[in-house]
Structure 1
Amino acid sequence: MTTISKTITINAPMSKVWEKVSDTGSISDLIGFLATSVQDGDTRVCSLEGGGELTEKIVSVDPDLNRVVYAIISSPLNMEFHVATMQLEAGDQGKTKLNWIVDLLPVEARDHMEPMLDGACADLVNTLAA
């Protein structure tokens, strides 16, 4: 297994960022490579801009911990296992830190997943501050 960990700082208060991050059905409004996202219960289906779909299970949305946990259960990205945590913490001067930790298999999946996460983090810095 490999782990990818990203921490970004968002120029917005944690309550505003949490409002958007915890709305798990609207993730495509925040990340550019997702064309659409539709959630039914704890299942979210995201279509990719380049084609294909991710089917995800929303494991937890915890307002006490300011944390969302989800797992990709089906995708065209050749992953055997994918679970991710997005957790917020208060930053300096009214800003928010978002820690995104992804565990995945096979290890080689990191080669295509890390650039996707880098792009998604850049998108989140912009869309969460808006």
Structure 2
Amino acid sequence: MATIYKEFTVDAGIDSVWDALRDFNAVHRRLAPGFVVDCKPSEGGRTVTFANGATAQELLVGIHEGMHRLSYTIAGGKASHHMASAQLLAEGDKRTRFVWITDVLPDSLGDYIDAMMTQGVVVMQRALGGSSEKPAG
């Protein structure tokens, strides 16, 4: 199984970053505008369209308010397994660490998912408040 790990910081408090992350059906407006260009809510999930034309049926697995963590999976498509989570950690009052992890099978999809997530990190960092720190992962 390929595991893709992305970590970055934004110059914004955890409450505002969490508000954007947990707004699951507004990903194209609040979290990753321009990377995700459309989002159509569906029962238990959403269908997202990415800037490159790819689409994904993402199902919400859970939102853990106290941990500032959201998890989702992709149904259908080329992956036989896909599980992702995003978790926020406060670094003072005005800075938030964002940790995004995806596990995917087959391993051969790892490079594609990694490239997509790298693009997503750049967009999310800008949308959420920017940072001077280079993303890890």
Measured in 2, the distance between the counterparts of 1:67 and 1:24 equals 12
Further displaced range: 40-49 or 10-19: 40-49
How far did 1:57 drift?
0.6
Q: Of the two structures, which has the highest relative contact order with CA contacts closer than 8 Å and spacing of 6 or more?
A: 2
Code of the aligned partner of 1:62: H
Question: More deviation in 105-114 or 35-44?
Answer: 35-44
**Map of 1:51 onto structure 2:** 53
Q: Contact (CA 8 Å) 2:63, 2:70: kept in 1 or not?
A: yes
Instruction: In structure 1, give the amino acid aligned to 2:22.
Output: S
The share of aligned pairs that are identical, in percent, is: 26
> Hey, what does 1:67 align to over in structure 2?
69
**Alignment map for 1:1-130 (pairs within 5 Å):** 1-29=1-29, 30-31=31-32, 32-75=34-77, 78-92=78-92, 94-129=94-129
SS at match of 2:67: coil
- Aligned residue identity for 2:82: H
Q: Superposition RMSD on alpha carbons, in Å?
A: 1.5
Shift of 1:40: 3.0
Confirm or deny: 8 A CA contact 1:26 1:38 kept in the other structure: no
Gaps of 5+ in 2: 131-137
Q: Name the amino acid aligned to 2:63.
A: V
The one-character-per-residue Cα deviations of 1:65-98 (angstroms, maximum 9, x if unpaired) are: 10000001133xx222111000000014620001
The CA distance in 2 between the partners of 1:72 and 1:35, in whole Å, is 17
CA distance in 1, matches of 2:128, 2:117: 15
Q: How many residues align?
A: 128
Partners of 1:40 and 1:113 in 2: how far apart? Answer: 23
TM-score, normalization by structure 2: 0.86
Q: 1:51 to 1:10 in 2, by over 3 A?
A: same
- 1:26 positional shift: 0.8
* SS state at 1:94 partner: coil
